Structure 1
Amino acid sequence: MTMEKSDECNNTSGQKPPYRPVVIVHGLMTGDVSTMQHLAARIAELHPGTKTYVIDRFCGLASLEPLWRQTRKLADDLLKICSLHPEGVHIIGYSQGGLIARGMIEEYGTEHNVRTFVSLSSPQGGQYGAECFTKMFPALTARTAYELFYTRLGQRALSVANFWYDPRHRDLYLKYSVYLAVIDNVKQESSCLHLQQNENDNGLKTMMGNMSTAVTSSTTTVAETNDDTQKNIEARVAAAIAAVSAATVKISESHNDNNSDARSVTTDVDTLMAMVSAHDNYCAENDNYNSNPNIKKLGLTRLQRLVLIGGPDDGVISPWQSSQFAVLDSSGGLIPMRERRQDDVYSDNDPIGLHQLDMTDRLVEYTVPGVNHHEWHHNEKVLRECIIGWLD
């Protein structure tokens, strides 16, 4: 729905404080935790007595860590908060944080007590636009990013690969996506995932042997650490950024040489990614492939409300309708959430419960023009007319 006066969320009339606690999950590269404190402070002002929790893990550069690593660590915090508040909590996930919030709600569907989930300009349908990454990766383009992001190791390098959705290569997306396709509950689960990884590790050793000892020794030390201090996380991410940058240049050069065969650069890409992937750690962390798909659906359907907020002037989320679960088709046409029927999130088997939420009037959408992506969590009108009324 378009944000107009008639759309104001006045559902809290007649209710009195205390209000339920609100958990806020920051977005990609949003700096330190202070960037979300304004939102927390305004909620407390509008709803006096509200306890707010602003998640302070994976801020700044660390927000580029792969999404399952972030989801599992942040879920520890969320479940502790839930245990402190048996009356239930609300969660607001901004940008990438909305995907992490959904991942937590789905993966811990029997454990959380989240009542309202506000997805604030979050690419729930995935991202297909490289403009926001060009400063970090100048050679990256939307048309060629899949050659890097849809590799086994590319998925384990940086968070942005985990929610990349290239409509021209849905087959590769379903094969390689380790996060978005999983939380969408549309990915065929593999019982031999760990076997495949072990076999590929042997290939990696061979590839690593072809690289200079000086280069590999300095980077694998960073990749193999289990220390999740901010310093080591940032070191891992910095190494990943360097590797991804080099890989995007190689991909660009391969196309400039009129060689568009993705396989011609796969070895180079995987070799570079091997420098920053702690494979044993990721094997241990990929237990999500064995999770019960019914729990994912239960996680969302237990919500009292799912609120999806986005707008045409966002400038970062692409397409912007991804904030409301829309995707593009292979020709670039828009497929709104309710038309994602064929083996997708709104199909008859309702893999994550969107259809059930929609049919029971628990799914709310706001389309808000005139708001830039970096302004959503500061915009007073968005807070007053789209968010605060749902935080009972």
Structure 2
Amino acid sequence: MKLLSGLVFSLLLSRIASIPNYKGNSNKLRPVIFMHGIFNKPGESNFSRDYISQAVPGILFYHIDLWNGIVESARNIDTQLSTILPTMQAIMDNHTDTGVTLLCYSQGGVICRAAVEMLAHHNVHTLITLSSPLSGQYGVTSDVEPFVPSKDRAFLWRFWYSWEGQAISIGNYWNDPHHQTKFADPELNVPLARLNNQFAHNFTAEYKRNFVRLERLVMIGGPNDTIITPWQSAHFGFYDKNETALPFEKQPWYLNDAFGLRTLNEANKVMRHTYGGLEHIYWYRTPAVFDCCVIPYIK
């Protein structure tokens, strides 16, 4: 990971310094760390914070207040991780007695997945994702359109799988089912392909070892989401070469247990929740979703 610039490093230190130094939690509740999505707006975490605090009195709630807004949140994911990972680790280090829950919306789910795989000393007990492109994105939706030269997804691999495309976070999880060789090119180093261990790298074994330390993976998504494409990506499903969405059990990286999802699933630690009727922007602020699919896993 490249050295941080002086400005970014100073910002990081100020963020870590502002984290309350809770070394213990008398009621043994696991704190919640919220990771926002792309194009994060001020207040995106407010509903989650308030609703969870009301449902579980005394719980601690943290929002990763980094890489916000239209420009910053669309930067390369590895660049974002350079400050997000140490900030998350600092919070985790303050809660060694309980561990933490990650609650992650949209692109934030990819970032949280990266944190679980890349942090050798994480103590994430439960990872909850709210309509996140866990297996990637293959659709030109409203969040993609501002960045691409063509609206036809069949041709976009040439842009996303270039150095210019990889400077944008969407390119880091653009998964073209017809160009898997390029997606998994180790020289291009697409972050999602690396997290899938679809090519050999120096941290292949470590990524899997860290991922299987999760006690629970909770994935929430639904068929009326018009942003995540296919919507089954929110459940680690994805398209085959015929553009038929298949569940994760039929994905090649699951069958060979490349990063540990099969290990977790066979240990009954993976939960999929399908919730209909919701557009993408409502996942993080709908009480019914929290009642059924979030609150039960953080108590």
Normalization by structure 2: what TM-score? 0.86
Question: Is 2:156 aligned against 1:145?
Answer: yes
Aligned to 1:195: none
Question: Is 2:36 aligned against 1:26?
Answer: yes
Partner secondary structure for residue 143 of structure 1: helix
Contact 2:221 2:231 in 1 (8 A): yes
Question: Is 2:57 aligned against 1:45?
Answer: no
Aligned to 1:309: 220
Aligned to 1:105: 116
**The 10-residue stretch of structure 1 (126-135 or 23-32) with the greater mean CA deviation from structure 2:** 126-135
Distance 2:124 2:261 in 1: 16
Aligned to 1:126: 136
Alpha-carbon distance, 1:18 to partner: 4.3
Contact 2:39 2:74 in 1 (8 A): yes
Alignment of 1:314-325 (within 5 A): 314-325=225-236
1:33-81, CA deviations, whole angstroms, 9 ceiling, x for partnerless residues?
x111211111111000010001100011210010011122111111000
Distance 2:148 2:100 in 1: 38
Contact 1:72 1:104 in 2 (8 A): no
1:222-255, CA deviations, whole angstroms, 9 ceiling, x for partnerless residues?
xxxxxxxxxxxxxxxxxxxxxxxxxxxxxxxxxx
- Count of aligned residue pairs for this structure pair: 269
Partner secondary structure for residue 382 of structure 1: helix
Distance 1:170 1:186 in 2: 10
Distance 2:47 2:129 in 1: 17
1:188 to 193, 200, 203: 200
Alignment of 1:224-243 (within 5 A): none
Distance 2:145 2:106 in 1: 18
Partner secondary structure for residue 131 of structure 1: coil
Bigger helix fraction:
1
Question: Is 2:275 aligned against 1:368?
Answer: yes
Gaps of 5+ in 2: 1-25
Gaps of 5+ in 1: 1-15, 190-289
Partner secondary structure for residue 106 of structure 1: helix
Distance 1:43 1:18 in 2: 16
Alpha-carbon distance, 1:140 to partner: 3.4
Contact 1:315 1:373 in 2 (8 A): yes
| RMSD across aligned positions (CA) | 1.5
Q: Which amino acid aligns with 2:249?
A: R
Distance 2:246 2:182 in 1: 19
Partner secondary structure for residue 64 of structure 1: coil
Larger Rg: 1
Contact 1:150 1:177 in 2 (8 A): no
Query: Per the alignment, do residues 317 and 185 of structure 1 end up closer, same or farther by CA in structure 2, a change over 3 Å counting?
Result: same
Alpha-carbon distance, 1:22 to partner: 0.3
Contact 1:165 1:173 in 2 (8 A): yes
Alignment of 1:343-362 (within 5 A): 344=253, 346-348=254-256, 350-362=257-269
Alignment of 1:192-211 (within 5 A): none
Distance 1:356 1:163 in 2: 23
Distance 2:205 2:165 in 1: 28
Aligned to 2:99: 88
Distance 2:63 2:290 in 1: 16
Alpha-carbon distance, 1:152 to partner: 3.1
